[in-house]
Chain A
Amino acid sequence: MEIDMERNNNRKRPASTDLPLQWSQWQLLDSILPTGGFAHSSGLEAAIQTRVITGPEDLHTFVVHVLENTGSLLLPFVYTASKSPSADTLCKLDRMLDAMLTNEVGRKASVAQGSALMRVAASVFSEIPLLKTMRDNFLSSGAVSFHHAPIFGLVCGLLGFESETSQRAFMFITLRDVISAATRLNIVGPLGAAALQHQIAHDAEAITEKWSNRGVEEACQTVPLLDTVQGCHGYLFSRLFCS
């Protein structure tokens, strides 16, 4: 009896190598990490000013649309980069995504966030010197734009996260950033935002499952209007966000 109980206890505890990884995971998803994601509203600001969003139900719908389009367009890049976190793969993915992000506002936002993430990851996760080496090489060659989704996948892959976790994490930070933008744009209060984020989590998981583990040749836009709304951002007179 006692031996059985001990065995059960041992089975419940995660392997000791996984635990430091969880700390890194949580740090990567924490909004306090200085990756500049908060300068971008994923087209939310433009959607409000162009009156695409006029009420709280619109906000809920908009956020789900953002997640769907992110899943269909960007998850394949996160997946591929996390499965094969090498400089070669990253260059190919970066070039391809650069040609796919045809809306200039979205393209610039992706580059800004990717560059910041690469810089932070190279300094913070010093146990992986490859991050710093890659970054230095990319900067000197100028061949890489540092798009966000592939860099995110690369960092996750090098840190040792499973690709499913990496993809879910990318969707999580997308949700996190839009909700945060909604709060700062005063569409919803902090408590309301937190409740909304929790409500949407169910759809977010379904969307993640639907678009996970696909090759980049399958990447596509499923909510074309979103791409168009985000593109408006450059024409706004007064703006809080970069995109």
Chain B
Amino acid sequence: METGKIVIEKVRGKSTVTKSFSKYPLKFIIPRKVGPSRVDAVWIYALTYGGGIVSGDDISCKLEIGAGCTAVLTTQASTKVYKSLGSKCSEQSLEAEIGSNSMLVLIPDPVTCFSTARYFQKQVFRVRSDSNLVLVDWITSGRHESGEKWDFTHYKSTNNIFLESDQPLFLDTVLLEQGSIVPLAERMQDYQVIAMVVLLGPMLRHIQGQVQEDVKRMMAKQLQGSPARWDRQMKSNTRRRGYCSNSFLDNRISLSIPEASIGWLGGIAGFVALFLKNGR
């Protein structure tokens, strides 16, 4: 039994919620006026009672977006995952069907796992060849002001996109777990946030192009000048992290967020390139 379900269909030419159901600990808020009225989009805020996900919570949600509709699913604040009690794992899952010529924009606030939290998130999207999807999936290192940096026990996030029900288009699972061989904090280096952004579909072509151009330009600037020459005599213990922590880039986007020297990376261009090449 799902914790929540939303169906959106075109009613009198406008994207309309025709079915909305949610039960504890999930709650949907669907405000009527969010964006400008000339833009046809339904905004859905997903909230959890108590402001976070408690150990052992299991939240599953189904989203059906009918042909020609646009929906935005977001949160009111960051998703806090509280500490695990008795090694219980908290789970959230989303299954979304995106119809022909429709768009789903999934832009939640980041997940913040408290110390010892265990969390698993699975999002499955079934799309048509002309569906559109903007997906942002991100996680912070924890309550880093309290000194909790990558201090949670287990975080696993799966994002799968299938074309016409069964063709795997994009399968991505990130597992961040405390481990003895390769400590988690060491794996994340000085980064406090990690994000993945997916832009899929014909309506987003111009943004994909823009993003690729921006990344190319940023990368060229960063990699300009002589590449770091390796001096084997050099026994430097001071790590020059300035480069990395603020503007680490690749074919994904990296933006610096001024407040706390957070660098966040989104994985886009690789995926975008895949789409543009195959002309889907």
Contact = CB atoms under 8 A, between A and B. Distances in A.
Interface of A: 46, 48-52, 54-56, 58, 61, 64-65, 68, 72, 95-96, 98-100, 102-105, 107, 185-189, 203, 206-207, 210, 219-225, 227-232, 234-238
Given A65-B187, A99-B168, A224-B174, A54 B219 contact: no
Given A48-B227, A55-B237, A68-B187, 12 more contacts: A49-B228, A51-B228, A52-B244, A56-B235, A72-B175, A220-B158, A220-B174, A222-B174, A227-B267, A231-B250, A232-B250, A235-B220
Interface string B198-240: 0000000000000000001001101110011010101111011
Contact of B175 (A189, A206, A221, A231): A221
A31 B190 CA distance: 36
B273 A68 contact: no
Interface residues of B, number: 52
Contact of A68 (B170, B182, B240): B182
Interface of B: 156, 158, 167-177, 179, 181-182, 186-189, 191, 194, 216, 219-220, 222-224, 227-228, 230, 232, 234-237, 239-240, 243-244, 248-252, 265, 267, 269-271, 273-274
A83 to B, nearest CB: 21
A55 B235 contact: yes
B227 to A, nearest CB: 4
Given A61-B186, A102-B267, A228-B265, A54 B228 contact: yes
A58 B241 CA distance: 12
A220 B228 contact: no
A65 B271 CA distance: 23
Main secondary structure of the interface of A (DSSP, over half): helix
B149 to A, nearest CB: 15
B236 A220 contact: no
A127 B224 CA distance: 52
B251 A55 contact: no
Contact of B219 (A64, A104, A203, A232): A232
B216 A235 contact: yes
Contact of A220 (B156, B244, B270): B156
Nearest to B176: A222
A206 B232 contact: no
A150 B175 CA distance: 21
Given A68-B182, A185-B230, A237-B227, A51 B171 contact: no
